[in-house]
Amino acid sequence: MAKKDPLLKLNRRQRENHRNKPKDALLPAEAIAALKQFKAPKFDQTVNVVMHLGIDVKQADQTIRGAIALPKGIGQSKRVVAFCGMDKIKPALDAGAIKAGSDELVAEIEKGWMEFDVAVATPDMMRVVSKLGKVLGPKGLMPSPKAGTVAADIVQAVKEYSAGKLEYRNDKGGNVHGVIGKMSFKDADLVENLTHFIEAIEKTKPNTAKGAYIKRIVISGAMTPGVQIKHVTAVEE
């Protein structure tokens, strides 16, 4: 019995986009241009990037985690809460935090309030924030020095995360995902953000990682096929 064409499960736009998907890896500017040629839905799509890395995810010293502020932003803001001393509450709020404080903010979260996307803290506040480990930890919201959410300059941290600073961490497959903007961005801005993201991940290569570090890079819109990026250190799987 003949197998059914898997494309039949897709709608007309998806089928056409799939057929027009570039077969070869493209340079960043070419890939962005190709991405914008796909038939698009009516909303402004988020543009995503995924990098498949040559790391052993079972080794703790090969975990890839951090934060990055892209030069052209990502086209979306985040709700930030700041754990800080009394003297920094007003500056944090002025910088864009939706709430700021110490013990009273901890108590509010302990009671179930979770209407925020990112939590930042000054180093001296971690003794207070540690009470929320079981609440924030499972949700990936616990402030961490490695992720850049524990910072002495709480005002700068609030500004960056409110503007969409990205936190990243490899998944179980050794992939790192990120957002590089919106489809409405200028091509040059998306290319700049993409290049910045790739270079930032390149710099995180663990000393113990063997072989090729960046194996594959793919970008896509929220509703488009992926387009592979041609990169000097990327290799075919």
Tell whether the torsion through CA atoms of 131, 137, 141 and 145 is positive or negative.
positive
**Are 84 and 156 in a shared domain?**
yes
Contact of 56 with 189, CB cutoff 8 Å: no
Is 70 exceeded by the pLDDT of residue 1? no
Mean pLDDT for the chain?
90
Closest alpha carbon to 202 in 165, 174, 234: 234
Is 50 exceeded by the pLDDT of residue 235? no
**Are 91 and 58 in a shared domain?**
no
Residue 102's domain comprises: 80-162
Sheet with 227-228: strands ordered across:
175-182, 46-53, 214-221, 227-228
Contact of 228 with 40, CB cutoff 8 Å: no
Summarize the confidence of residues 184-213 as an average pLDDT: 94
Q: What is the pLDDT of residues 123-136, one digit of tens each?
A: 999 999 999 999 99
pLDDT at 66: 87
Amino acid letter, 154: I
Summarize the confidence of residues 137-159 as an average pLDDT: 91
45 in any annotated domain: yes
Is 50 exceeded by the pLDDT of residue 236? no
Residue with tokens 């030069």: 71
Question: CA 175, CA 147: separation in Å to the nearest integer?
Answer: 17
pLDDT at 3: 59
pLDDT at 112: 94
**Are 86 and 124 in a shared domain?**
yes
Angle at 72 between CA 218 and CA 70, to 5 degrees: 60
- Give the list of residues 6+ apart from residue 15 with CB closer than 8 angstroms, or none: 7
Distance, CA of 120 to chain centre = 16
Summarize the confidence of residues 93-105 as an average pLDDT: 96
Closest alpha carbon to 80 in 94, 106, 99: 99
**Are 135 and 177 in a shared domain?**
no
Q: What is the pLDDT of residues 11-60, one digit of tens each?
A: 787 788 888 888 999 999 999 999 999 988 889 999 999 999 999 999 99
Region at 209 (left for phi over 0; alpha for psi -120 to 50; beta for the rest): beta
**What is the pLDDT confidence band of residue 167, given thresholds at 50, 70 and 90?**
confident
pLDDT at 11: 75
Question: CA 72, CA 189: separation in Å to the nearest integer?
Answer: 6
Query: Which of 162, 195, 218 finishes a domain?
Result: 162
Angle at 103 between CA 100 and CA 104, to 5 degrees: 65
Percentage of the chain lying above the pLDDT 90 cut: 71
Angle at 68 between CA 206 and CA 21, to 5 degrees: 85
Q: What is the pLDDT of residues 61-98, one digit of tens each?
A: 999 988 888 999 898 888 999 999 999 999 999 999 99
Q: Give the count of domains, the chain.
A: 2
Instruction: Report the predicted TM-score, pTM, of the whole model to 2 decimal places.
Output: 0.75
Is 60 exceeded by the pLDDT of residue 178? yes
**Are 85 and 148 in a shared domain?**
yes
Summarize the confidence of residues 178-185 as an average pLDDT: 95
Residue with tokens 């970008």: 219
**Are 130 and 171 in a shared domain?**
no
Residue 43: φ, ψ to 5° = -95, 165
